[in-house]
Amino acid sequence: LEFVVRGSFLSVADNVVTILVDLAVTKDDVDVAAARQELEETNAALAHPTDGFEFLRLLEVRDWCQARIKLAE
């Protein structure tokens, strides 16, 4: 079973691994058409970000879209 995760933290203590994530999706959860559309819109917005924070947010969205598409294909 494979997942794509977003916003994660990993801890190892006493031979126990704990992983906390904000969001995780499986291949079956991905709507590829929607992810591609979001990627296209994000790439267009990256051409003219309003400021540095917007640019960083758009990069995160782009990476999330690409990860979901890669998982689903």
Quickly list DSSP for 7-22.
EEEEEEETTEEEEEEE
CB atoms within 10 A of CB 33: 8
In three-state secondary structure terms, 32 is helix
Q: Is there a contact between 68 and 4 (Cβ–Cβ < 8 Å)?
A: yes
| Per-block mean pLDDT, blocks of 10 residues, the chain (73 long) | 91 95 95 98 97 97 97 95
Give whole-number Cα distances, 69 to 3, 13, 14, 42, 60, in Å: 12, 33, 36, 14, 14
Residue 1 has a pLDDT of 83
